[in-house]
Amino acid sequence: MCSDIAVKVSGVSKCYQSYAKPSHRLLQAVKFLRRKLYTEFWALRDASFEIHRGETFGIVGQNGSGKSTILQIIAGTLRPTAGSVDVVGRIAAILELGAGFNPEFNGIENARLNAAIIGVSEKEFRKSLPQIIEFSGLGDFINKPVKTYSSGMYVRLAFSVSISLKPDILIIDEALAVGDTRFQRKCFRKLESLKAEGVTIIFVSHSMESVVNHCDRALFLEAGEVQMIGHPKKVVNTYLDALFKLDNAESVHPVSHENNNQQEQHQCRNSSHKLNHDPLIDACKTHSTYNTQEYRWGDARAKITDYIFLNNGSAYKHQCEKADTLTLCFAVYFEQAFKKIIYGMTIKTTDGKTVYGTNNRLKKQLYSVNKSGDVAEIKFEFIANLAAGDYFISLGVAADDDEKDHVPLDRRYDLIHFKVADDQQSFGIAELGASIEQL
């Protein structure tokens, strides 16, 4: 195996056998019995990929797609039905909550047990123990049985043990989602530190923002099969596209021609700034602020056909100043009627961190669409309380759905690019307008 490769997964498949009765399992063990008394479930099918040393590698996919299975096989706690996994270095894994812990043991005893499992000597463990205790922040609970721990305390202990024992490869299966926000930030800072030291990190997360922000590459699993491996943002977009690819017939909401007057107050009726309504023309691409690298997805029963971006009432040009008023109007053409529609806007940094997002459902403003061919004009207005830098605006239209929460109709990620001028007085993301004086 190449010296640059930490993990090599070659044609790995995992099949589970389900028996209707316990006796069938015994009968199946009889060699001359040819008939299958079980049904097969393939959690993984012919998965192959490589993970480089010092790389942070994310795995995304729906529940049941095989994410946890592949992590367990890499960690060595599960055997594949077919294929092989080659691993170079010591592995520490945080898998399902509480895995590897004896509920009757206290925190220190469980830490010692986990250290022994991955081959850490008693001398090395004692040297690492103060760091484990300090990082976990468990205080006196470190000496109490873990059966008295909350889920967040489990994570604190598991993460602290794993990162303190100097692994070459660290595997995390959605565990950080359980911890509190402060501890999550602490963990991600530590992960960055471990990465800088050359540790390979593999993690599963349902937080797409975490995958985009922290991973070098990502893998998309669906029904046990590898669908895509590549740049995190592209992989996440492909996953989201597949996740919301729904049958149009399932989400139709026919409505009457009543109660749509509330839409009028949000229309952008400015004679000097007209929006294109033609669904066959994507006028968004004609604007200087249009980002050619946008990612667009949805079932296309609605189309964002145009937008207008204003700075203090005038057309946005090259950049805006801090605290300027930015107005964004956009037109949406509807192929059919809908009872409840969600219009959303999100502002992100160029590296994918969400700065701000909102939609009319969050603001408890409900809108509907009367009939096929209707066009809605939507207006968002906000103050650019942002530090200097480049930002992207995403726009979205979705159908509110009681069962599925929402059905994406047209989402245009990173559609608009804008810049806030640098006055060399602050840094970060938010502009809080702090004053400084000596007292």
Give the three-state DSSP class for 422. Answer: coil
pLDDT in tens, 202-218: 988 877 878 888 899 99
**Distance between CA 311 and CA 412 in Å, rounded?**
21
Instruction: Read off the pLDDT of each residue in 220-235 and give the average, rounded to a whole number.
Output: 92
Q: Is residue 10 part of a domain?
A: no
Residue 126 falls inside a structural domain: yes
One domain, residues 392 and 276? yes
- pLDDT category at 90 given cuts 50, 70, 90 is confident
Q: Please indicate, yes or no, if residue 383 is contained in any of the structural domains.
A: yes
CATH number reported for the structural domain that contains residue 288 in this entry: 2.70.50.60
Choose one of 195, 225, 243: the last residue of a domain: 243
**What is the per-residue burial (b if ≥16 Cβ within 10 Å, else e) of 52-90?**
ebbbbbbbbbeeebbbbbbbbbbbeebebbebebebbee
Instruction: For residues 256-272, give the mean pLDDT.
Output: 40
Share of the chain above pLDDT 70, in %: 87
Q: Is 7 part of any domain? A: no
The confidence score (pLDDT) of residue 175 equals 67
Range with lowest mean pLDDT among 58-62, 137-141, 328-332? 137-141
Q: Are residues 63 and 106 in the same domain?
A: yes
- DSSP string covering 280-345: T--GGGGSTTB-TT-EEES-SSEEEEEEEEEETTEE--S-B-TT-EEEEEEEEEESS-EEEEEEEE
Q: Do 402 and 368 sit in the same domain of this protein?
A: yes
Per the DSSP assignment, residues forming a β-bridge with 91 are 169
Mean pLDDT value across residues 242-258: 43
Do residues 234 and 256 both lie within one domain?
Answer: no
350 shares a domain with 292: yes
In a domain, 438, yes or no: no
284: closest CA among 421, 419, 382, 410?
Answer: 410
Instruction: Say if 432 falls within a structural domain.
Output: no
Same domain, yes or no: 233 and 91: yes
Indicate if 63 and 175 belong to the same structural domain: yes
Q: Is residue 17 part of a domain?
A: no
Q: Which of 228, 243, 258 represents a domain boundary (last residue)?
A: 243
Domain co-membership, 183 together with 294? no
Judge if 189 and 259 occupy the same domain. Answer: no
Q: Is the pLDDT of residue 127 over 80?
A: yes
Domain stops at, among 174, 208, 243: 243
Judged by average pLDDT, the poorest of 188-197, 205-214, 389-398 is 205-214
Mean pLDDT within 273-292: 92
Can you give the residue range of the structural domain that contains 313?
250-420
More confident residue, 264 or 89: 89
Count: domains in the chain: 2
Minimal CA–CA distance to 342: which of 328, 325, 362, 357? Answer: 362
Residue 144 pLDDT more than 80? yes
Considering the domain architecture, whether residues 260 and 191 belong to the same structural domain is answered as: no
Same domain, 106 and 200: yes
Please check whether residue 388 is in contact with residue 420, taking contact to mean a CB–CB distance below 8 angstroms. yes
For position 124, which CATH number holds? 3.40.50.300
What value does the mean pLDDT take over residues 387-405? Answer: 88
Nearest to 302 by CA among 333, 281, 340, 331: 333
Whether residue 298 sits in one domain with residue 238: no
In a domain, 326, yes or no: yes
